[in-house]
Amino acid sequence: MWRWAIVLGWVWAQDKPAYLLYSGEGKRLSYKQALSYLSKADVVLFGELHDDPIAHWLAYELVRDLYRLRGERLMVGMEMFETDQNEALQQYWRGEISLAQLGGKIRLWPNFSTDYAPLVEFARQAKIPLYATNAPRAFARAVAQRGVAAMEEWMETERQWVAPLPFPRLDSLPSYQQMSSMAVEHGIDPDNFRLAQMLRDATMAHRITSAWRSGVLFFHLNGRYHSDSKEGIGAYLRLYQPHLRVITLTTERVPEIHTYRPPKKGLADIILVVPETMTRTH
């Protein structure tokens, strides 16, 4: 009997994958199927949870395999770098400064070395064009505090770091509407808070469309809230270049990954599902 217990315990232990992939309709996908699907996109919006190690690992693996499939027809953009940091990022990409020197020039995310440096270094070594896409945090903070008045004070040299002004407001989108209660909790005017988020999303979309060219796949890494339900960045991509084939991937933490069902229709084209017990990076 004890031998059977050992065998059954071993089988159970083998049935604990660190993640599973699903289609937006809830159909289980293999990594190979997901990769094949993503490889046919013009733009991939990878919506991560910033502290999830599986999302960071999967983004890295996808970029490596997409490079194998697409070669020089691949670009990478990251929310984790702001547009006014792009020159320093390009200096690193060209090999003019080290990763440590890059950290001395710009403010890197606290989890950069463990979560994003491997992807950035691979892009540098493979000579995959790498772009800083996010609006400068100081600009977004100013808009959250003072709204349109803050943008009206920006000089022409400062406006180059954001989407062309005035950019369309998409306040009616559910994702932006949901931000109102969050703003009130933090004592921020909801209208300004939504506008700051739109500034980020519009800027990231504008940077993507400015870099993209026919036949290229632009892989963009961002927090899931910026692309879930094809809103946020996706909504602005449809305004700037409606012909693009945009494929979204989001990350979900759930108690049981084997019985996952998408919480709503259209959350994403591909869903990365990880156990809620997964270790977090910070």
Return the minimum-mean-pLDDT range out of 13-27, 28-42, 101-115, 133-147.
Answer: 13-27
Under 8 Å between Cβ of 227 and 248: yes
pLDDT for residue 188 = 85
| b/e burial code for range 157-184 (CB count within 10 A of at least 16 → b) | eeeebbbeeebeebeebebbeebbeebe
Return d(Cα 111, Cα 71) in angstroms, integer. Answer: 28
Q: Is the CA virtual torsion 209, 61, 108, 254 positive or negative?
A: positive
How do strand 130-134 and strand 43-48 relate by DSSP bridges? unpaired
pLDDT for residue 110 = 93
Return d(Cα 176, Cα 171) in angstroms, integer. Answer: 6
pLDDT tens digit string along 53-97?
999 999 999 999 999 999 999 999 999 999 999 999 999 999 999
If you ran DSSP here, which 8-state letter would residue 207 be given? H
All domains of the chain, ordered by start, with CATH?
A: 24-134+212-275 (3.40.50.11550)
Return d(Cα 193, Cα 180) in angstroms, integer. Answer: 8
Query: What radius of gyration, in Å, describes the C-alpha atoms of the chain?
Result: 20
Residue with tokens 């180059």: 160
Could you tell me which of 60, 52, 43 has the C-alpha nearest to residue 121?
60
pTM higher than 0.85 = yes
pLDDT tens digit string along 200-220?
999 999 999 999 999 999 999
Question: How far, CA to CA in Å, does 266 sit from each of 25, 61, 191, 220, 230?
Answer: 8, 25, 26, 19, 8
Return d(Cα 253, Cα 135) in angstroms, integer. Answer: 28
Q: pLDDT class for 4, splitting at 50, 70, 90? A: very low
pLDDT for residue 3 = 52
Return d(Cα 156, Cα 50) in angstroms, integer. Answer: 33
